[in-house]
Amino acid sequence: LATRAGSSLEPEEHSMEPLAVPEEEEVPPVAPGPAGCQLFGYVGIEAVLDQMKIKTMKTGFEFNIMVVGQSGLGKSTMVNTLFKSKVSRKSSQPSQEERVPKTVQLQSITHVIEEKGVKMKLTVTDTPGFGDQINNENCWDPIIKYINEQYERYLREEILITRKRKIPDTRVHGCVYFVPPTGHWLRPLDLEFMRRLSKIVNVVPVIAKADTLTLEERAEFKQRIQEDLKTHAISVYPQEDFDQDPEDRALNNRIREKIPFAVVGADQEHQVNGKRVLGRKTKWGVIEVENPAHCEFPLLRDLLIRSHLQDLKDITHNVHYESYRVRRLNESNRP
């Protein structure tokens, strides 16, 4: 039999019809994408999201937050408001000796809180004594030492030959710095603290007890703080250098316009229009903590928990801890 390739025993001139030219097979269009491959049916790759969710719900995750500021700015109340539970250090009446510590003392308390089956091991580190002395020179040193100690603890576990399957993570993922509501410029103490700490941890500045300022004073104070941070090249969270794609950059730009957040903390409920709301009761009414028209606490909560919690952990591990790890390993390799 003759084939299209011309393998017949008959001479070609005996054929009355022209030889058929083989047609090129049509290649199905390839869907553009990183894999360069088009799926012809459902595979089930998206199920990995369910697997990750189930695993996270079983094992839980860790989140460590530090609050820094002078006494009386409502740090403990703000943390309790964030997580809607008593997670800060006990508010017992201190003695006269304990009321004003002579040096900065760091106190950490850990809780396991659960919501809709998701467990979170939350560690809150308070810094009583910070900025309370007449001479506050180098009062940030114990805080820097504590943060580096947590990096060192993680590094020692990581470089072991036989490592744990899950290394306990005590590294500080976010540091909320409480700025006193003076209405003026940032103090030298505030600038020096944020300049030093922003290099080793994610610093989120907030204006404490913002209900003591009028709306005009609040807007002007916020603008002055933004100018101070820009003038002194202080990069607070979210840092512009770590925006990975245009969507992240657009979202973070909107957040950066609002920083520092003017917040009000409250751990008591009040009746407003037939509803129980968290707020502070004054002679003029109730300041609702979760009302965006009253304060910017919802923005802070969304940043720390609802939208950027995983990003805080990622930057802590990939940027701040990584720079510490490289520095320490270089030091140990020097002759």
Report pLDDT digits (tens) over 199-253: 999 999 999 999 899 989 999 999 999 999 999 999 999 998 888 888 889 999 9
Model confidence at 133, in pLDDT bands (50, 70, 90)? Answer: confident
Residue 173's pLDDT band (cuts 50, 70, 90): very high
Q: What angle do CA 103, 107, 109 make, to 5 degrees?
A: 175
Say what the pLDDT of residue 301 is. 92
The better pLDDT of the pair 27, 192 is held by: 192
Q: What percent of the chain has pLDDT over 90?
A: 47
Q: Is the pLDDT of residue 278 over 90?
A: no
Sign of the CA dihedral running 278, 282, 286, 290: negative
CB 109 within 8 A of CB 244: no
The strand order across the sheet containing 261-262 reads: 107-115, 118-126, 61-68, 174-179, 203-207, 261-262
pLDDT at residue 51 above 80? Answer: yes
Q: How far apart are CA 32 and CA 29, in angstroms?
A: 9
pLDDT band, residue 271 (cuts 50/70/90): confident
- Per-residue pLDDT at 232: 95
pTM of the model: 0.81
Span 11-33, pLDDT tens digits: 444 444 444 545 555 545 544 54
pLDDT value at residue 225: 95
Tell me the domains of the chain and their CATH numbers: 48-91+100-333 (3.40.50.300)
* Dihedral pair phi/psi, residue 228, rounded to 5°: -60, -45
pLDDT of the residue at 291:
85
**Of the candidate ranges 18-27, 283-292, 304-313, the one whose mean pLDDT is the lowest:** 18-27
Contacts of residue 78, defined as CB under 8 A and 6 or more positions apart, other chains included, come to: 67, 176, 178, 206, 208, 263, 265
Residue with tokens 């030889």: 19
pLDDT for residue 91: 47
Sign of the four-CA dihedral 206, 207, 210, 215: negative
Please tell me whether residue 271 adopts helix, strand or coil conformation: strand
Greater pLDDT, 263 or 32: 263
SS (H, E, C) 154-202: HHHHHCCCCCCCCCCCCCCCEEEEEECCCCCCCCHHHHHHHHHHCCCCC
Q: Is the pLDDT of residue 2 over 50?
A: no
* Interatomic CA distance for residues 113 and 123, integer angstroms: 10
- Per-residue pLDDT, 313: 95
Could you give the CA distance from residue 181 to residue 205 in angstroms, rounded to a whole number? 12
The sign of the dihedral angle between the CA atoms of 102, 193, 155, 125 is positive
Mean pLDDT of 104-120: 88
Rounded to an integer, the average pLDDT of 73-80 is: 89
| 209 close to 264: Cβ distance less than 8 angstroms | yes
The pLDDT assigned to 318 comes to: 96
Strand 174-179 to 203-207 pairing: parallel
Confidence of residue 8 (pLDDT cuts 50, 70, 90): very low
pLDDT for res 261: 95
Q: Please tell me the predicted confidence (pLDDT) of residue 65.
A: 96
Q: What is the pLDDT of residue 100?
A: 57
Round to whole Å and give the CA distance between 176 and 304.
Answer: 10
The structure tokens listed for 57 are: 């719900």
Range among 46-50, 95-99, 291-295, 325-329 rated most confident: 325-329
The reported pLDDT for the residue numbered 12 is 46
Cross-strand pairs, 63: 122
Mean pLDDT of the chain: 84
pLDDT of residue 293: 87
